[in-house]
Amino acid sequence: MTHNPPANRFSIAPMLDWTDRHCRYFHRQLTQQALLYTEMVTTGAIIHGKGDYLAWNEEEQPVALQLGGSDPAALAQCAKLAEARGYSEINLNVGCPSDRVQNGRFGACLMGEAALVADCIKAMRDVVAIPVTVKTRIGIDEQDSYAFLCDFISTVAHQGGCDTFIIHARKAWLSGLSPKENREVPPLDYPRVYQLKRDFPQLTLAINGGVKTLSEARNHLQYLDGVMMGREAYQNPAILMQVDRELFGSDRPEIDPVAVVRAMYPYIERELSQGTYLGHVTRHMLGLFQGIPGARQWRRHLSENAHKPGAGIDVVEQALSLVADKIPMTA
């Protein structure tokens, strides 16, 4: 009897200002299997914000909500709301190093408060049936020993009941580096994450950080349960067209990027009718034809025209005409 690999075998990272609902809808056209994540949403925004911070489309499933916060009661309240709205996982951010996040006492600084993280996870697990997971770093500031990492994982797993961790294989510097530098300056340490799996074989562990190709993802999957891809999946989304076949063993037929763009039209029409600007959707699609002649013209046409008042499907169709005839047809 064959069983389908779990969705967290390959996921697309939560990225602030990037992985919004339009982005996720687009990515879902490219991969049916990968687990998608929301941008990080703070508990304060959900509980006190004016907008609907839990909005998503049924077609995005499976999709996980990433929460930022450190108050167990507020997190539990938000987790309950998210489960009621149909999200398939709640993820606690213990990895983001920005000052704004630290001032709110969440993100990477929580690595130094393992017992509090455990309380947060337990509070959420007590009120929802869906998985509650943690995304973290391998250390913070001078607290970057392997023992520190093991202690954090052990505490959150045993006291909080967390059985799934996504590990960004870099430490975070809480001061002195910008969030962008924190994604690039601290060195990646994949072996440390592999070692963690050997020492905690009962836990589900996924790796994040610097993954740029599906062959790299396959390599990580020899040692770990899952791989999370971030910027590469966003900037070169065509890579996602191979995920279902290569990482999930799906027999889904080859995907045509032009057909993917046109499959977005009903969604775009619906969004335009609700007052969304075309550019809010198409900005996530700019990288689709990377490496294909005409890709630059596609990007330029959308970038220059999608934000104009009244811009609609015809703008996308015109952009498509600059690239469509240059795509080598697959036999």
- CATH number reported for the structural domain that contains residue 309 in this entry: 1.20.120.1460
Which residue out of 23, 78, 96, 109 is catalytically annotated? 96
Residues 18 and 167 in one domain: yes
Question: 140 lies in a domain?
Answer: yes
Confirm or deny that 231 is annotated as ligand binding.
Answer: yes
Question: 331 lies in a domain?
Answer: no
pTM of the model: 0.94
Q: What is the pLDDT of residue 106?
A: 73
Q: What is the pLDDT of residue 76?
A: 98
Confirm or deny that 135 is annotated as ligand binding.
Answer: yes
Q: What is the CATH number of the domain that holds 167?
A: 3.20.20.70
- Which of 222, 248, 274 is the C-terminal boundary of a domain? 248
Question: 273 lies in a domain?
Answer: yes
Q: What is the pLDDT of residue 146?
A: 97
Query: Active site includes 150?
Result: no
Tell me the C-alpha distance between 10 and 227, whole Å. 5
Residues 243 and 268 in one domain: no
Confirm or deny that 15 is annotated as ligand binding.
Answer: yes
Q: Answer for the pair 106, 68: CB distance below 8 angstroms, yes or no.
A: yes
Tell me the C-alpha distance between 81 and 55, whole Å. 11
Residues 235 and 262 in one domain: no
Question: 2 lies in a domain?
Answer: no
Residues 38 and 116 in one domain: yes
Q: Which domain holds residue 298?
A: 257-326
Q: Which two tokens stand for residue 179?
A: 């969030």
Tell me the C-alpha distance between 100 and 78, whole Å. 20
Confirm or deny that 318 is annotated as ligand binding.
Answer: no
Residues 184 and 212 in one domain: yes
Question: 210 lies in a domain?
Answer: yes
Q: What is the pLDDT of residue 326?
A: 61
- Which of 228, 248, 268 is the C-terminal boundary of a domain? 248
Question: 1 lies in a domain?
Answer: no
Total of domains in the chain:
2
Residues 301 and 159 in one domain: no
Residues 86 and 177 in one domain: yes
Residues 184 and 45 in one domain: yes
- Which of 248, 277, 308 is the C-terminal boundary of a domain? 248
Q: CB count, 10 Å around CB of 201?
A: 8
Confirm or deny that 69 is annotated as ligand binding.
Answer: no
Q: What is the pLDDT of residue 95?
A: 84
Consecutive 10-residue averages of pLDDT for the chain (331 residues): 71 95 97 97 94 90 96 97 97 82 74 96 98 96 95 98 97 84 87 98 98 98 98 97 96 92 97 96 97 94 96 96 68 33
Q: What angle do CA 82, 83, 86 make, to 5 degrees?
A: 90
Reported as type and span, the H/E element at residue 7 is none
Confirm or deny that 93 is annotated as ligand binding.
Answer: no
At 121, which amino acid appears? Answer: I
Residues 30 and 116 in one domain: yes
Residues 175 and 322 in one domain: no
Q: What is the pLDDT of residue 218?
A: 98
Confirm or deny that 252 is annotated as ligand binding.
Answer: no
Residues 264 and 118 in one domain: no
- Taking alpha carbons only, the member of 231, 233, 235, 256 closest to residue 243 is 233
Q: What is the pLDDT of residue 330?
A: 44
Q: What is the pLDDT of residue 103?
A: 63
Residues 181 and 276 in one domain: no
Confirm or deny that 209 is annotated as ligand binding.
Answer: yes
Confirm or deny that 228 is annotated as ligand binding.
Answer: no
Tell me the C-alpha distance between 206 and 194, whole Å. 10
